[in-house]
């Protein structure tokens, strides 16, 4: 059973100001990571229906629902991990670990955000609400116990990405192809494994003190898992791209452009592998928001897919 989280230290200089607490609470909700929720739009885009009004509306609502729900789970996770986060060179500055935001306030806000996420999802349909509920259940299970289970914890984190992609399909009644799910699943596992490998590089021998499961991994295992996931992701994407005229998504007007999109996908995976080998690239949101190479490859991929789907 996990030891209770030690109370965060008081900030120097006296009581916390309301403005500082409010700002800290917003930071603790991790708005930078809302970029992950863009995955709800992948299925509508791939199906060529993203700009139909009702599809766009439902996808946007799904995005908001996941922003609310995920922020709630981040707060719960940070409250539980406050003591461990103080041992991390960068996570020690998180508002709850640093004492800027009281744990009780963070917990109360998390309950409100989680309830709001479920409520917003239910306005679309019961299936989206169910997907959000499953996401919440697996996220909270991860925070409470699953984060200590070797390999299984990788699947728990990766499933959060997969559920976002599934949510985009169920929100707009768009069928998801088998290869689409393979690409999302192993691509997510690739990202999560890369994050663990980056933690090895960053924390060295002290990695286990911050995240106990890291003591059960070796660098060789994580590197082998990365290569395996990268290979399955590329293979799955190729099979999807070269069968778009037979996978139930008959709206594609020019499959050739979709097939050409394999090139930026492969280059992006190779580039991320290079960054991870050099001890960088462990935060996917930073790669998306800051890394110019990833951004250029992402734009090229989106352009090729858009031409193939909408031309």
Q: Residue 22: CB partners within 8 Å, gap ≥ 6?
A: none
Between the two ends of the chain, the Cα-to-Cα distance in Å is 56
Give residue-wise pLDDT tens across range 122-146.
999 999 999 999 999 998 898 888 8
Which residue, among 241, 180, 190, has the nearest Cα to 42 in the 3D structure? 180
Backbone angles phi, psi at 16, to 5 degrees: -75, 140
Query: Could you tell me what percentage of the chain is helix, strand and coil, using 3-state DSSP and rounding each to the nearest 5?
Result: 75, 0, 25
Which pLDDT value is given to residue 250?
45
Which pLDDT value is given to residue 108?
93
Residue 10 is classified by DSSP as P
Q: Dihedral angle at the C-alpha atoms of 57, 60, 61, 66, nearest 10 degrees?
A: 160
Q: Which helix (H) or strand (E) holds 44?
A: helix 42-46
Q: Dihedral angle at the C-alpha atoms of 95, 96, 99, 103, nearest 10 degrees?
A: 140
Q: Rg of the chain's alpha carbons, rounded to an integer?
A: 20
Place of tokens 């003190």: 209
d(CA 154, CA 224): 14
Which pLDDT value is given to residue 13?
37
d(CA 217, CA 198): 13
Q: What is the largest CA-CA distance in the chain?
A: 66
Q: What is the pTM of this model?
A: 0.80
> Which regions of the chain are under pLDDT 70?
1-16, 203-211, 244-253, 279-287
Residue 37 is classified by DSSP as G
């Amino acid at each position: 059973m996990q030891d209770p989280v030690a109370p965060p230290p008081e900030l120097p200089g006296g009581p916390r100001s309301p403005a500082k607490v409010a700002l800290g609470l917003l930071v603790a909700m991790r708005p930078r990571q809302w970029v992950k929720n863009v995955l709800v739009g992948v299925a509508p885009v791939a199906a060529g229906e993203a700009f139909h009004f009702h599809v766009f509306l439902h996808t946007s609502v799904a995005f908001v629902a996941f922003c609310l729900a995920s922020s709630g789970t981040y707060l719960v996770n940070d409250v539980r991990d406050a003591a461990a986060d103080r041992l991390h060179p960068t996570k020690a500055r998180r508002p709850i670990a640093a004492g800027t935001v009281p744990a009780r306030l963070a917990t109360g806000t998390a309950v409100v955000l989680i309830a709001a996420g479920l409520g917003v999802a239910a306005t679309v349909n019961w299936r989206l609400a169910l997907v959000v509920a499953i996401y919440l259940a697996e996220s909270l299970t991860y925070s409470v116990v699953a984060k200590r289970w070797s390999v299984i914890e990788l699947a728990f984190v990766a499933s959060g990405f997969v559920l976002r992609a599934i949510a985009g399909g169920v929100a707009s009644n768009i069928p998801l192809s088998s290869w689409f799910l393979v690409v999302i699943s192993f691509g997510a596992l690739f990202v999560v494994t890369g994050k663990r490998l980056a933690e090895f590089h960053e924390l060295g021998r002290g990695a286990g003190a911050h995240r106990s499961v890291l003591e059960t991994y070796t660098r060789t295992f994580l590197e082998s898992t990365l290569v395996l996931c990268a290979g399955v992701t590329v293979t799955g994407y190729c099979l999807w791209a070269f069968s778009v005229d037979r996978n139930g998504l008959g709206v594609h007007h020019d499959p050739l452009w979709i097939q050409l999109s394999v090139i930026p996908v492969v280059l992006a995976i190779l580039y991320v592998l290079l960054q991870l080998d050099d001890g960088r690239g462990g935060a996917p949101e930073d790669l998306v928001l800051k890394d110019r190479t990833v951004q250029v490859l992402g734009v090229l991929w989106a352009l090729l897919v858009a031409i193939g789907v909408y031309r």
